[in-house]
Each structure stands twice: as C-alpha cells, then as structure tokens.
Structure 1
Amino acid sequence: MAMVGLFWIGEDSVYVGTEPVGAAPGVRLTEAGVETLGPDQSGFRAWDEVVRIGTEGVPVRSGARRMASMAFDAVLVAVTGYGDLPPAFLVEVATAEETVEVTVHAAVAGGFYQPSEYELSVALLERLADGGAEVGDLLAWGRDHAAEGTPPREEREALLRKWAGV
C-alpha cells in the first residue's frame, strides 16, 4: 500500500484515509462507485449517483509544523510508551437523496497532510464525483507501484495533478 494525498492505494483498492480494519469505518473507492464502511454507514453508491465527495476537518500543516509535531509525538511515545491513533476527519458522500458522513483516519505519517497534497486531493475527489476522473487510473498505478511504498512528495503531487487534470 502507498499513500498519495488523502488516498491509501493498494494493488486492488483505493481508500480515502487509512484502510479500515475490522468493523472500523472507512470509504473505499472502486471503479463501480463509492463504498462506505462501518457499522452505521455501510452502503454502496454507483458513480452515476454520486454528486459530491467532500472532506471536513482534514489535518493539514506546513512541512515545518508537521516535522515538529512528529518529533514531539515520537518523544511522547518513547517516554510514556503510549501513542494516539492518527487524527480523524470526515468524508461526505452525497447523492441527490442523501449525504453520508464517515469518519476516517489520516493515512499520512505524522497524521498531518501537506497543504498542496490536500488541495490536489480535494480537486481529484471533485473530478471523481463529476465523472472527470477514473478510479481505474489510481488502481492501475497501485498495481504497478503500491508494493514499493509511498513515493516522495514531489512524485505524489505530480500523480495527483495528473489524476485531477490540473
């Protein structure tokens, strides 16, 4: 699996945020549509039903602030032996009839996204919802590259620009 922007991409799956484990909530993007996961939010919406995919409360920080936060967290875990789950944020999947909100966890190391990757990810979610982009492109990249792990920031941003058409 590899993290590119808000997306956790594997060889056969794409998640917004981390891949959920067990009954944890999550949002999976497939070539056929959007699958919301979790005890109270489970459901599937075909792409032709989806009018919007939005996010709220995504943890975004500049590079310097992100590094300071990661260093503090590492010291805290080393001293206390305890760590927290990554920050959570909401993913909203809207159709003409309903809007479903699912809480997901950040997939990025340190729990905070770079502003540029966040903005490009939002642009990609908008393009996916309006039919201007295809999840198949992310899956194809995942089949070829996800086993290598998360690419460097410049490559992630280039991928997001390509997929979002910006």
Structure 2
Amino acid sequence: MAMVGLFWITEECVYLGAEPTGTAPGVRLTEGGVEILGHEQGGRSWGWEQVRGLDVRDVAVRSGRRRLASMAFDSVLVLITGDGEQPPLFTVCVETEDDGTVEASVLAAVTGGIHTPDEYELSRTLLARLADGTTTVGELVGWRREEPEDVAPTRDQRLALLREWTAGASV
C-alpha cells in the first residue's frame, strides 16, 4: 500500500485517509463504487452510477515549512508529556443520486495529519474525476500493483502521480 495525497492505495482498492481496522471509520473506493466503513457510520454503499460528487472537508492544510514546524512541535509535546494522540479525522462528502449528500469521517494517514496545499487541491480534483468517471479506481490500483511493495513514493513522485491522474483538469 502507498499514500498519495489523501489516498491510501492498495492492490485491491483505495481508501480516503487511513485504511481502517476493526470498527474504525473510513471510506473505501472500489471499481464498483463507494463504501462507508466503521462502527457508527458503516454499512452504506453506492455504485459509481449513483455517485454525483466526492469532496472532503476539515483536512489540515499547511505549507511545507509550516507542516514541518507543526510536526516538530507535536513530536516535542509527545516527548515531554508522553501523550500521543489519535490521527486527526477529516470528513468525506459523498453526493448521491438518491440519498443526497452523505458525510463520513475518516482518519488521516499522513504523518501529523497535515497535507500541503498542492496535495490537497490535486486530491480534491482527483475525487471529482473519480466521481464523474474521467479517472477510475483501476488506474490508481493498477499503479500500486506495478510498484514494489516496500517502496514508498517520494513527495515529488506523489505530486507527479496526482498530476498524472488529474491531467486535463483545471486545478
């Protein structure tokens, strides 16, 4: 699996944020559609033909420099207090044909839960393209299958992938 923007990409599917375990909240994107997971919110799913839009809210976004400063501060705080915290949540909005807009919480997977402005905007554009069918989950999963399992893409490679998957879209 690999993290690219807001997406946790496995060889079978794509998660928004972290891949949930147990009863943790999450959203899974498959070739068949969108599934909401988790104890208090799970059990709902829609085929792509029913999905009218995908978007996110409450994502922590900071410039690269501010992101590093926030992560350093958090690390020092944990060292001093010994109190680590759960990854932050963000909200996924699934606009559907029959159910209107449904909101689901997901756990951030990126270190510190903070994304750069480029990652965030490109991820939102990719969500729109997934919803309208101009990009498919298969393209993301196909990339993951071709990559070595133990190699994570660098920041520049992640941005290049997001740009490739959103090519032709105005960001």
Q: Normalising by structure 2, report the TM-score.
A: 0.92
Where 2:109 maps in the other structure, the secondary structure is: coil
- For 1:23 and 1:146, locate their aligned partners in 2 and report how far apart those are by CA, in whole Å: 29
Query: What are the ranges of 5 or more consecutive residues in structure 1 without an aligned counterpart?
Result: none
Whether the 8 Å contact between 1:10 and 1:142 is mirrored in structure 2 is yes
Distance 1:65 1:145, change over 3 A: same
Could you tell me which of 155, 158, 167 is aligned with 1:156?
158
Which segment drifts farther, 92-101 or 50-59? 92-101
Q: Structure 2 CA distance, aligned partners of 1:56 and 1:146?
A: 32
Matched residues in 1 for 2:77 and 2:148: separation? 31
Q: Which residue of 2 aligns with 1:57?
A: 58
Q: 1:74-153 counterparts in 2 under 5 A?
A: 74-98=75-99, 99-145=101-147, 147-153=149-155
Unaligned 5+ runs, structure 2: none
Q: Which residue number corresponds to residue 19 of structure 1? A: 19
Q: CA deviation at 1:149?
A: 4.1
Q: CA RMSD in A?
A: 1.3
Q: Distance in 1 between matches of 2:165 and 2:53?
A: 17
Residues in 1 aligned to 2:120 and 2:112: alpha-carbon distance in whole angstroms: 15
Higher RCO by CA contacts (8 Å cutoff, separation 6 or greater): 1
Whole-angstrom CA distance in 2 between matches of 1:73 and 1:145: 32
Moved over 6 A (4+): none
Tell me which residue corresponds to 1:37: 37
The sequence identity of aligned pairs, in percent, is 55
Q: Which amino acid aligns with 1:91?
A: V
1:22 CA displacement? 0.5
Call closer, same or farther: CA 1:69–1:146 in 2, change over 3 Å: farther
